[in-house]
Structure 1
Amino acid sequence: MIHTTILSGVTFLYFAAFVFYLFRMMLGREFWGKAATWAALIGLVAQSVALVLRWKASYDLGFGHAPLSNFYESLIFFAWTIVLLYLLMERRLKNRSIGVFVLPVAFLIMAYASIAPGMNQRIEPLIPALQSNWLTSHVLTCFMGYAAFTVAFALGIMYFVKKTAGERPGLFIRLLPSEFQIDELMYSCAALGFIFLTLGIVTGSVWAHYAWGSYWSWDPKETWSLITWLIYAVMLHARLARGWRGRRMAVMTIVGFGCVLFTYLGVNLLPSLHSYMT
């Protein structure tokens, strides 16, 4: 289908954006930064069109649901939220150096969705438990939270790259924001992700009660979502109450992102009501 072809092209656009961001950091020429931004923006628009076309195709097939119902569609949407959030941040901060750390994640997610063996790319009807408007609100808020945590993770990696630079840093390091700015951005992204994840857990609980008659059942996905929520709650509390900054915050963004990945991917290996995602 045409939407699958478009999404394949988007994968290469995100890779091109990463390479252009890297060229900017290595060569110091803003031309490459503008090219990277345009590549990422065109990729995001094309991906949005592909998602709409896939949504329309589901209606043409008689199913009629948002493209958020299986593992393939969730990967595509995850990459979309990451690039959307990053481009909004770039526009607000007027700083393109973060892109070299964020775009590789979006590219790898898209590449995995395209080439992973056994990946089901077909549009299929929803199982009865998923036939609810709560599906869209739950998935949207969760993945916006995941996207914010992904950007926070990228900033954590950036912080350590900046921190380990020698006394005479090269052009790449000099183009990065200051350690103070990176720290503030890590906190802001983690706080934003925490808000969205909280909304995701709440909407998921309401949906669970609607679908299965219980707000909480200690399903592996629910349990690890709670663990992830607690990790970021501790991080934000320590920031406000104990004054955690810098290295500690960077470590927590990496640990938290590890929990996000396990919540999203790892629990699919366990018996779960969310096993449809596999």
Structure 2
Amino acid sequence: MTQWEQIAFYVTFAGYFIAMVAYILYLPFSKQNFALFGRYAAITGLMANSAAILLRMAIAHRPPLANGYEFILTFAWGIVMVYLLIENRFKLSLGGAFVMPSAFFLFAFVVFFMSGNERVMTSIQPALKSNWLTFHVITAMMGYGALAVSFGIGILYLLKQRLEVRKPQGQLNARLPELQRLDYLGYKMIKLGFPLLTLCIITGAIWANYAWGTYWSWDPKETWSLVTWIIYAIYLHARLMYGWKGKRSAWLSVLGFLAVLFTFIGVNYLLTGLHSYA
């Protein structure tokens, strides 16, 4: 990691942390300045995140997709980019308290659990030298970003529903969006993320055939990617065919993103397979 990239990384880390805290403070205190400060901090972090990605690309002469550190750079970028677009489109500042922690904790994972050797810029492995990998990771980055936002909205829905029962006249409950609107937004995010996740798996299979001579080998990451896909497929099928909405849908969106996190991080560090280099 070069000096300038390191600076960009830690500016991102600080920006996402400040944004997370500001959005969380906006929940109980309802001060619009907190939401505004959180948005500006998130934008600053996103710009620094973009700089870190571009710096690594410029020096390595390749997409930043060769190891776990580089994947986290792109994963967090996708989460924050999609969230800011959704916040601007639907005026959902309260969602930042539940989405920004995902981006921050990805960077915190790098800071507290990744060794310096894991962040070192290395030559790309032969198995990674394919344009299909670029398509694979771009679809994953944007798809996971949309699914992270659906996770945040799902948590917000469950909180709102709990407040409706326990403190229906409370100030926080009055400020939260209506349950129907949250349910709809969560559905919209999964409608966006699921096709991208599908493309991610398809392009990954094509890349695997290019790299290892087989489209599918039941590698742990492939298996958990399929598990994640099935969870979101169940969500959409149950919603469209059986009218599942509300609490059950919210829990499925939460479960689905937990599977995403395990696929993205847990598999790399807890299981061994062809994707262990990531």
Asked if structure 1 preserves the Cα contact closer than 8 Å seen for 2:19 and 2:41, the reply is: yes
> For residue 122 of structure 1, what is the amino acid of its counterpart?
V
Supply the RMSD in Å over aligned alpha carbons.
1.4
TM-score of the superposed pair, with normalisation by structure 1: 0.93
Asked if structure 2 preserves the Cα contact closer than 8 Å seen for 1:21 and 1:100, the reply is: yes
For residue 169 of structure 1, report the CA deviation from its aligned partner: 4.2
The yes-or-no answer on 1:237 pairing with 2:237 is yes
> For residue 206 of structure 1, what is the amino acid of its counterpart?
I
Please identify which structure carries the higher helix content.
Answer: 2
Partner residue in 2 for 1:170: 170
> For residue 136 of structure 1, what is the amino acid of its counterpart?
T
Helix, strand or coil: the match of 2:70?
helix
Rounded Cα–Cα distance in structure 1 between residues aligned with 2:177 and 2:73: 29
Rounded Cα–Cα distance in structure 2 between residues aligned with 1:8 and 1:271: 30
Rounded Cα–Cα distance in structure 2 between residues aligned with 1:55 and 1:6: 14
Helix, strand or coil: the match of 1:188?
helix
Asked if structure 2 preserves the Cα contact closer than 8 Å seen for 1:8 and 1:114, the reply is: no
For residue 83 of structure 1, report the CA deviation from its aligned partner: 0.3
For residue 245 of structure 1, report the CA deviation from its aligned partner: 0.4
The yes-or-no answer on 1:25 pairing with 2:27 is yes
Rounded Cα–Cα distance in structure 1 between residues aligned with 2:132 and 2:99: 29
Q: Deviations over 1:199-234 (max 9, x none)?
A: 001111111111111111121111111111111111
Q: Deviations over 1:123-160 (max 9, x none)?
A: 10011010111111101111222222211111111111
Partner residue in 2 for 1:80: 77
Asked if structure 1 preserves the Cα contact closer than 8 Å seen for 2:46 and 2:81, the reply is: yes
The yes-or-no answer on 1:94 pairing with 2:91 is yes
Partner residue in 2 for 1:122: 120
Q: How many residues align?
A: 272
Rounded Cα–Cα distance in structure 2 between residues aligned with 1:102 and 1:258: 13
Partner residue in 2 for 1:197: 197
Asked if structure 1 preserves the Cα contact closer than 8 Å seen for 2:167 and 2:173, the reply is: no
Rounded Cα–Cα distance in structure 2 between residues aligned with 1:38 and 1:171: 25
Helix, strand or coil: the match of 1:98?
helix
Q: CA 1:146 to 1:69, structure 2 compared with 1: closer, same or farther past 3 Å?
A: same
> For residue 34 of structure 1, what is the amino acid of its counterpart?
L
The yes-or-no answer on 1:223 pairing with 2:223 is yes
> For residue 270 of structure 1, what is the amino acid of its counterpart?
L
Partner residue in 1 for 2:101: 104
Q: Deviations over 1:235-276 (max 9, x none)?
A: 101000000000110111122122212211222222211011
Structure 2 spans left out of the alignment, 5+ residues:
none
